[in-house]
Amino acid sequence: ELDDLQERFDATIAAEQRIEPRDWMPEAYRRTLIRQIGQHAHSEIIGMQPEGNWITRAPSLKRKSILMAKVQDEAGHGLYLYSAAETLGIDRTTMTEQLIDGTAKYSSIFNYPTPTWADMGAIGWLVDGAAICNQVPLCRASYGPYGRAMVRICKEESFHQRQGFEILYELSHGTPAQHRMAQEAVDRWWWPALMMFGPPDADSPNTAQSMEWKIKRFTNDELRQRFIDMSVPQAEVLGLALPDPDLRWNEATGHYDSGEIDWTEFTEVLKGRGPCNALRVSNRRRAHEGGAWVREAAAAYAQKQAARAAA
Cα dihedral: 296, 299, 305, 309 (round 10): -150
Q: Which of 55, 79, 232, 270 binds ligand ACO (CB under 6 A)?
A: 270
Asked if 154 interacts with ligand ACO (CB under 6 A), we say no
Q: How far apart are CA 81 and CA 18, in angstroms?
A: 17
Query: Is residue 147 close enough to count as binding ligand ACO by CB under 6 A?
Result: no
**Interaction between residue 139 and ligand ACO (CB under 6 A):** no
CA distance 58 to 160: 16
Q: How far apart are CA 120 and CA 96, in angstroms?
A: 26
C-beta of 187 vs 265, nearer to ligand ACO: 265
CB atoms within 10 A of CB 121: 27
Q: List the one residue out of 178, 60, 192 whose CA is nearest residue 123.
A: 192
The residue among 94 and 178 lying less far from ligand ACO, judged by its C-beta, is 94
Binding status of residue 283 toward ligand ACO by CB under 6 A: no
Using rule CB under 6 A, residue 207 touches ligand ACO: yes
53 touches ligand ACO by CB under 6 A: no
Which one of the spans 17-25, 55-63, 189-197, 282-290 is the region binding ligand ACO (CB under 6 A)?
189-197
Residue 239 CB, shortest distance to ligand ACO, in Å, is 26
- Residue 62's CB is within 10 A of a number of other CB atoms, namely 9
Is residue 210 close enough to count as binding ligand ACO by CB under 6 A?
Answer: yes
Give yes or no for residue 172 binding ligand ACO (CB under 6 A).
no
How far apart (Å, rounded) are the C-alpha atoms in residues 60 and 63?
A: 5
> To the nearest whole angstrom, how small is the minimum distance from the Cβ of residue 311 to ligand ACO?
46
Neighbours of 257 (CB within 10 A): 14
SS (H, E, C) 49-104: HHHHCCHHHCCCHHHHHHHHHHHHHHHHHHHHHHHHHHCCCCCHHHHHHHHHCCCC
Instruction: Please state the closest distance from residue 49 (CB atom) to ligand ACO, in A.
Output: 12
Q: Least Å distance between CB 79 and ligand ACO?
A: 13
The reply on whether position 129 binds ligand ACO by CB under 6 A is no
Phi, psi of 19 (to 5 degrees): -90, 130
Q: How many residues bind ligand ACO (CB under 6 A)?
A: 26
Query: How long, in residues, is the chain?
Result: 311
For ligand ACO, the binding residue among 18, 45, 47, 71 (CB under 6 A) is 47
Contact set with ligand ACO (CB under 6 A): 35-36, 39-40, 43-44, 47, 105, 107-108, 131, 134-135, 195-199, 204-207, 210, 216, 220, 270
